[in-house]
Amino acid sequence: MKLFDKFLKWVYASLKSVPSLNRHNYLAKILIPYLEDADSALDLGASDGRLAKNIQAKLKIKFIGVDTVVQPRTFIPIIKYGGKKLPFRDNSFDCVMIVDVLHHDKSPQKIIAEAKRVSKKY
């Protein structure tokens, strides 16, 4: 295992062990009002899908996630994609959720354009 992979594994394990760290619940609380009228959503850069799962617990919304790396354990269905073109038709989802993703890419405007392409509403 590469050193960086070991570091990421350690960071992830450390974050899971801190009970007061409830980032996903905090973000879900902020995002829920924007998703109340959506039936379907794409979580672009979903990681393990935990945030989408927290939102699903409060709303009747179907999430699918995409990411360039699929985690060993996921909370929603996650599809691996190459980071360029989303593997969905135009207007496939009511909305696309992008959280903590754009700063990872050299061309965030292309990610936003792809999100807009596959989204019906938001």
Instruction: DSSP letter for 94, please.
Output: S
Is the pLDDT confidence value at 44 over 80?
yes
Confidence of residue 31 (pLDDT cuts 50, 70, 90): very high
Instruction: DSSP letter for 93, please.
Output: B
Give the pLDDT confidence score for residue 13 in this predicted structure.
66
pLDDT tens by residue, 72-118? 999 999 999 998 999 999 999 999 999 999 888 888 999 999 999 99
Is the pLDDT confidence value at 15 over 60?
no
Is the pLDDT confidence value at 20 over 70?
no
Q: What sign for the dihedral angle of Cα 121, 98, 77, 29?
A: negative
CB of 67 closer than 8 Å to CB of 11? no
